[in-house]
Amino acid sequence: MKLHVENLSKRYGDTVVLKDISYTFESGKIYGLLGRNGAGKTTFFNCLNQDILCNGGTAYLDGENGKDLLNPKDIGYVLSTPIVPEFLTGREFLKFFLDIHKDKNNKSLDEYFDLVQLSSADQNKLLRDYSHGMKSKMQLLIHIISNPKVILLDEPLTSLDIVVQDEMKKLLKELKNDHIIIFSTHILEIALDLCDEIIVLNNCSLETVEKKNLNTKKYKEKIIKMLKEEKSND
CATH classification at residue 175: 3.40.50.300
Instruction: Look at residue 230 in the predicted model and tell me its pLDDT.
Output: 57
Domain presence at residue 91? no
Domain presence at residue 88? no
Dihedral of the alpha carbons of 20, 25, 30, 35, in degrees to the nearest 10 = 0
Helix (H, G, I), strand (E, B) or coil at 31: strand
The values of phi and psi at residue 10, to 5°, are -150, 135
Question: What's the pTM value of the predicted model, to 2 decimals?
Answer: 0.84
Contact between 116 and 141 (Cβ < 8 Å): yes
Cα separation, 159 vs 173, in Å, equals 20
Domain presence at residue 138? no
Domain presence at residue 107? no
Domain presence at residue 100? no
| pLDDT tens for each residue of the chain, 234 residues long | 899 999 999 999 888 899 999 999 999 999 999 887 777 889 999 999 999 999 999 999 986 666 788 888 899 998 878 888 999 999 999 999 888 887 777 788 898 888 888 888 999 999 999 988 888 888 888 888 888 999 999 887 766 677 777 888 888 888 888 899 999 887 778 888 888 888 888 888 888 777 665 556 766 776 777 666 654 444
Contact between 208 and 56 (Cβ < 8 Å): no
What distance lies between CA 44 and its chain's CA centroid? Answer: 11
Which strand (E) or helix (H) includes residue 150?
strand 150-154
Domain presence at residue 202? yes
Domain presence at residue 140? no
Work out whether the CA dihedral 69, 72, 76, 81 comes out positive or negative.
positive
- Please tell me the total number of residues recorded for the chain in this structure: 234
How many distinct structural domains can be found in the chain?
Answer: 1
Which strand (E) or helix (H) includes residue 133?
helix 132-146
Domain presence at residue 105? no
Per the DSSP assignment, residues forming a β-bridge with 151 are 76, 181
Closest listed residue to residue 42, CA positions, set 185, 147, 198, 203? 185
Cα separation, 145 vs 111, in Å, equals 11
Q: Rg for the chain (alpha carbons), in Å? A: 18
Range of the domain at 62: 2-81+149-228
